[in-house]
């Protein structure tokens, strides 16, 4: 039996922003010369994809959506905070990094509204 997923506009926003930040992190992970950053960025990108899949697309997790949403909020918040911790004052020198953090902050807002 094929059940189609019907997302509302708020959820489409969450999905779109998640895909944007996941692709950015995977791209950075694949392009990083340092093993630590390669692993961190790649795992972060995969984490975003896994959270998105369990939140909206895997029906077997439907009864856990509230908890998954809170985990998604926490994951995204920690990602934003650690960007500034790892980069310090240099965090504001990267337009690409700040663009991604903007995407993540909007994602946090949409996840909050979607509860």
Domain ranges of the chain: 9-113
The beta-strand segments (E) located in the chain are none
Question: 42 CB contacts (<8 Å, ≥6 apart)?
Answer: 25, 26, 29, 30
**In the structure, what pLDDT confidence band is assigned to residue 1 with cuts at 50, 70 and 90?**
very low
Give the tens place of pLDDT for each residue, 46-101.
Answer: 999 999 999 999 989 999 999 999 999 999 999 999 999 999 999 999 998 999 99
């Amino acid at each position: 039996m094929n059940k189609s997923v019907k997302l509302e506009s708020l959820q489409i926003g969450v999905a779109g922003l998640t895909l944007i930040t996941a692709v950015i992190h995977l791209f950075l992970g694949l392009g990083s010369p340092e093993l630590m950053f390669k692993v961190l960025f790649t795992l972060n990108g995969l984490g975003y994809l896994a959270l998105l899949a369990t939140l909206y697309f895997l029906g077997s997790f439907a009864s856990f959506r509230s908890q998954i949403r809170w985990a998604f909020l926490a994951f995204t918040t920690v990602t934003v905070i650690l960007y500034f911790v790892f980069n310090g004052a240099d965090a504001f020198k990267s337009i690409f990094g700040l663009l991604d953090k903007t995407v993540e902050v909007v994602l946090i807002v949409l996840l909050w509204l979607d509860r």
